[in-house]
Chain A
Amino acid sequence: MATELATRVLHSLNDASELPLASSEAFPDVESTVLKGALDSLQSREMLVYKTIDREEPILTEEAEGIVREGSHEAKVYEAVCVAMDGIKISELPRIVGAATAKVGQGKAFKEGWIKKDGDRLLKKVASINDTTRDQLQLIKAKQTTPEPALLAELKKRKLITLQKRINFKINKGPKFALEVVKEETDLTAEMIASGAWKDKIFKPYNFAALGAHTPSGALHPLNKVRSEFRNIFFEMGFTEMPTNRFVESGFWNFDTLFVPQQHPARDLQDTFYISDPAVADKPRDDETGEFLAEYWENVRGVHEDGKFGSLGYRYPWKEEESLRLVLRTHTTAISANILHKLAKNPRPARYFSIDRVFRNESVDATHLAEFHQVEGVIADYNLTLGDLIGFMQEFFQKMGVHQLRFKPAYNPYTEPSMEIFGYHEGLGKWVEIGNSGMFRPEMLETMGLPKDMRAHGWGLSLERPTMIRYKVNNIRELVGHKVDLGFVESNAAVRLDRG
């Protein structure tokens, strides 16, 4: 069917004496929707082009169709009067021409002056008549043209025609006009390439507005994506990753080695998870030899209890049992302390980093979880300066797309000086705290046996905070933990911190 119609359209175009071709004339018998389908298909092949023209066309009513067939009511009355040689009784008329015709036609025929009344009889008044109504309707039907407005209004009033919206097409030849409809290919296939058939094929144009097919895919978690961005920054800057795969620490490594006094609030039950089983650590020992680190142990005790290495110390009785209590590490700095202590065996410039989970006995809310990821960097070198730390932070945060930094003096038990790092966030339009940093205290480093002129910078930040800013997450529970929406994991974009 469709092909037949297409062929007919193409032939009509070919045969037409004048272009464009009007569909109303060439294909009056074809439904406009059906015709449009054929035209669209041919137009998509560029075989023709067409324009749609909407207009209103007069349609003959049933009554008007009757008039076209049999003449107007008045004409029918006149005929009846003529047929009866000596006229018709008025009362007989409905029986002869029908009630409806009699009613309308009689008056009209009088008005036209075709008949006259003689007593109760109707007689013809003129020799012949011209049935204009019928002629007009016949013309409208044949040409489907709209009559001039006065007549149109009258015919409408007489309920002989109605106006109906009609879609027409003006059709012209397209650049690839031909009489045959060639089959269009939707896809390039291996067979076509093998046979070379693709050269002669016509390919159906694509709809480039449509989306591609959904590709099933795995996904990495957004926090881990930010993590790998940070790791790469550390690797770019020459840092070695620390072995932070150890959640349980002793008070010794988590606090004492860092010169955090035993009464410090961070060691409160309110802040730190203590372990009930196993509860007590062994005294610190050398990981390689397994020997008790007696000198270090005594140095730590000494620097807390009496002061040592040029420090007054905190001057309180340092308790072994407090030092040996096991905790879930509250910061990865516990590992940094361990690594720096190892470095003291063979002091040399070193750069270390880690990004791993830490634990705080916090009440959970929109910005706090009992566990989060700490990003930590450590630089050890001879005669490091505070300017080096600031300059390094500038380079480090530049790689994360933060270009303006300023530093606020702060306090931290194991760094002196301590600096809070503030970055200007372009998106938020304000300074935000982005991390903490400082020079590790001599009480920590010299106790380990590091030489006096070897200094170490440390800095840290949470991984969650920059991730929440990057992915516009307001509640940390939507980022970390089992309540995270998998749809979020599957749909989040790559990180690219340097692009802000």
Chain B
Amino acid sequence: MPTVSVNKYDLYEALGQKYTTEEFDELCFEFGIELDEDTENDPDRPKDQPPQLKIEIPANRYDMLCHEGISLMLNIFRGRASIPNYRVVAPANSEVHQITIHKETTKIRPYVSAAVLRGIKFTQDRYDSFIALQDKLHQNLCRQRTLVSMGTHDLDTVKGPYTYEALPPEEIVFAPLNQEKVMNGKELMEFYKNDKNLGRYLHIIRDSPVYPVILDASRNVCSLPPIINSNLSKITLDTRNVFIEVTATDRTKVEIVTNILVAMFSQYCDDPFTVEPVKIISPHNNESRQVPNMTPHSTTAEVSYINSCCGLQLSAPEVCTMLDKMAYTAKPSSSDPNLLDIDVPVTRADVLHQCDIMEDVAIGYGFNNLPRTFPGKSGTIAAPLPINKLTDIVRLEAAMCGWSEVLPLILCSHDENFAWLNRKDDGHTAVRLANPKTAEYQIVRTSLLPGVLKTIRENRKHSLPIKIFEVSDVAFKDEKLERKSRNERHFCAAICGKTSGFEAVHGLLDRVMAMLNTGVSETGAMEQEGYWIEETDEPTYFPGRAASIWTRHQHGKKQSIGTFGILHPSVLEKFEIPYPVSTLELNLEVFL
């Protein structure tokens, strides 16, 4: 969730009321934003700076990522304002601005939207908010500028008509924002390589043969999206006319971003809430149009659906009252008494379905005012997952035998799971992670041993013997399945002491088998169900001190379900355990 910092005094002035921190927190809670911090009493706040309110905004409310949006929405919610009527007004005495999109841009960043704010008056606060909003949008909705990015320019420093092209980097030559040095696209990538702020966006276009560029009629570079604007068209506090260009790889979000920027700052124009249109000429992909479109999205919602979901019996006009608080324009439909005709604010692109409208009715009514009922009409019968029920049997038996349960991690390093256990990876076994942040997490474990042994390592100071167990899942690759892998429930136990403890894990095995109603079978006897053990030479274990565990079930097929034994000293060395350890690990799935 983005956090927006606003000037506390300015916000309270805009809201026409001074709040205590608790009161404002309550208002935020009711509306669904969250007051994170009030810096009024923060000793670190410089004396000459006004206190800030740090407000967390839910990820869908891009329309509240600045002071202007927050105060507008809260004022509407409190009945002190209504949604402005945003108007697109063509310039009276000049041509409509125009951007022609070249076909090559489809190779890198195909979509453009734009707008002109005429006669805007910046103050330092407004200017800061304008920049901060662009930054918040870039971080969130624009997905770090990969989907969308904005460039804003002093319209009076450039001259239309404009073109949006994709050119080889060497052919794009300009002085970037706040730089005097003129450079080409290649040099620019080098220049900003280590820049803390811009460095992280370079990858979006760096390796492309062509870079996107907005040019004016004299082929001056306006911006190199999504990296940086030109210094030529830089906005200052004195700028009166702002040219906004928005480029994108996502044709829906390009308009959303333009609309929000226009909606938030058109109030500072000489003719408030007006915007000048820009003509986009893009015949190659049928994207020619005039932008922005500030007309609210008209839709309908069912009163019965809203009431049914909320558990309310509101009349259509009452529902409209709730929606008014949430910045909608709603009225009962003349054609159907169950329908409402609703205008969704142009800034609310997150409203996709009448369920979104229903939620806003519930917020307007107050979540905590809704009648609390219990969904008791239908009876359902509870049931545990069979493998979990089996797991609990084994867990309880092991604990009753005096072993303590541990809970290591499921992700581990490749070495811990293979090399350290003297096991080889055949490449068809373990699920590997593509993008872990540390070498601790490379694969999903295929054995419970690594975690159990690491737990012993970290508890070396515990009194001996250490007797621990875990019943949990490991995962294996499985090409036959839709998700190409499967989990398997394992039981693992380990004893660490002055002596090896082989007979202790063997005894635990016998006990658990007895509790699972699995008797000892004559070795391999076909007709007999049960389990037996055979010596094995797995290199995980000390030679001659390891056994594999076999079962035969009703169908007569025998199956090896696990092993136990004294760990090989080379394994102990890897896990830094200075005492002998015996372990037991088996697959529980066969007992389902």
Contact = CB atoms under 8 A, between A and B. Distances in A.
Interface of A: 216-221, 223-224, 228, 231, 234-250, 253, 263, 265, 269, 273-285, 307, 309-316, 326, 328, 349-351, 357, 359, 361-364, 369-371, 379, 381-392, 394-395, 406-411, 416-419, 439, 441-443, 453, 455, 457, 480-487, 489-490
B311 A387 contact: yes
20 contacts: A263-B147, A274-B433, A283-B482, A312-B352, A315-B251, A383-B308, A388-B374, A389-B375, A391-B375, A406-B367, A407-B367, A416-B358, A417-B359, A439-B355, A441-B355, A481-B407, A481-B409, A482-B408, A485-B459, A486-B466
A307 B433 contact: no
Contacts of A282: 481-484
B372 A394 contact: yes
Contact of A245 (B359, B383, B406, B489): B489
B410 A284 contact: no
A248 B382 contact: no
Interface of B: 29, 31-32, 34, 58-61, 140, 143, 146-147, 250-252, 308-311, 350, 352-356, 358-359, 362-363, 367-368, 370-375, 377-385, 387-388, 392, 395-396, 398-411, 430-438, 441, 444, 451, 454-455, 457-459, 462, 466-468, 473, 475, 477, 479, 481-487, 489
Given A221-B406, A387-B372, A486-B466, 8 more contacts: A245-B473, A273-B441, A392-B375, A409-B58, A410-B58, A416-B355, A482-B408, A482-B458
B405 A220 contact: yes
B407 A240 contact: no
A408 B29 contact: yes
A238 B408 contact: no
Contacts of B372: 387, 390-391, 394
Contacts of A216: 402
Contacts of B371: 387
B404 A486 contact: yes
Contacts of A313: 352
B429 to A, nearest CB: 10
A411 B58 contact: yes
B484 A326 contact: yes
A443 B370 CA distance: 24
B483 A240 contact: no
Contacts of B395: 220, 224
Contacts of B405: 218-221, 224, 489
Nearest to A355: B388
Given A219-B404, A328-B444, A387-B370, A371 B409 contact: yes
Contacts of A221: 404-407
A418 B438 CA distance: 34
B304 to A, nearest CB: 10
A480 B470 CA distance: 13
Nearest to B350: A411
A441 B477 CA distance: 33
A383 B378 CA distance: 11
B433 A482 contact: no
Contacts of A364: 438
A213 to B, nearest CB: 15
Nearest to A439: B309
B373 A307 contact: no
Contacts of B437: 361-363, 370
Contacts of B451: 482
A385 B311 contact: yes
